[in-house]
A and B are shown apart, each in its own frame.
Chain A
Amino acid sequence: NAGVTQTPKFRILKIGQSMTLQCTQDMNHNYMYWYRQDPGMGLKLIYYSVGAGITDKGEVPNGYNVSRSTTEDFPLRLELAAPSQTSVYFCASSYTTRETQYFGPGTRLLVL
C-alpha cells in the first residue's frame, strides 16, 4: 500500500490565484481529513469527510472547499489564495473514528 499520497509537495502561489491540493488513499478508509500546520504550531482541522459524498467543516474552513466523489480521493481547493494561507497542508485518513489517522507527507504552500 502507498498509504496517503499528496501532490504537489511544494507550491508557490500569487495572491488571488487558485489551486487544488490532491490527496489519495489506498487503504479503503471511510474518513479523510485536511489539516494545516503553521510554523511552530499544532495541526488545525480544515475539513473532513466521513464517506463519499459527505463533507463537513472543521475548525478553520474559511477560504477552502472540498469534495469527496470517491472513497479514495479528497481534494482541497483554494479559490482566492491569500498570504494567510501560507502553511503546510496535511491530508489524513482513518477507517473509523476510533482508528488512528494516517498522514500524508504534506504540501508546503507559499502565497506571495
Chain B
Amino acid sequence: GQQLNQSPQSMFIQEGEDVSMNCTSSSIFNTWLWYKQDPGEGPVLLIALYKAGELTSNGRLTAQFGITRKDSFLNISASIPSDVGIYFCAGPPITSGSRLTFGEGTQLTVNP
C-alpha cells in the first residue's frame, strides 16, 4: 500500500514551546488532512488542505500543503497541556480515489 512517513514518532516538550511535525510520501496527494486522537477516542480533524502551497491556520495550529504535493507540515505554537495526544497526517494518494492513507502518528507529551 501507499506509505506515509510521519516524524517525529514522539515528542516530549514543555508547556509554552512550539511544536513541528511533518509527513512525507513518495506519492502525490490531492488532499492533506491532520487529525488528533485523544486517548480512548476516535481521531478528530484539525486541519484540511486542498491545494499545493496552501497554508491554513486553526487557532494555534498551522498546516501547510507542500508544493511538491508529497509532503505536509503541522506546527503548534505555545503548546498547552491539552495538546497531548497522537497527531496523524492522512490523505488520499492520487491513485487511490476515496481511500485515505494514514501516517503512523506523532505522540505528543506536554509537561506543565
Contact = CB atoms under 8 A, between A and B. Distances in A.
Contacts, number: 56
Given A42-B104, A50-B98, A103 B44 contact: yes
B112 interface: no
Chain A interface: which size bin? 20 to 34
A62 interface: no
A58 B77 CA distance: 36
A52 to B, nearest CB: 15
Interface stretch (A12-20, A68-76, A79-87, A93-101): A93-101
Contacts of A58: 99
Interface in A25-70: 31, 33, 35, 40-45, 48, 50, 58-59
The 9 residue pairs across chains A and B that have the minimum distance between CB atoms: A103-B42, A97-B98, A42-B102, A43-B102, A100-B45, A42-B104, A59-B1, A103-B43, A90-B42
Interface of A: 4, 31, 33, 35, 40-45, 48, 50, 58-59, 90, 92, 94, 97-98, 100-106
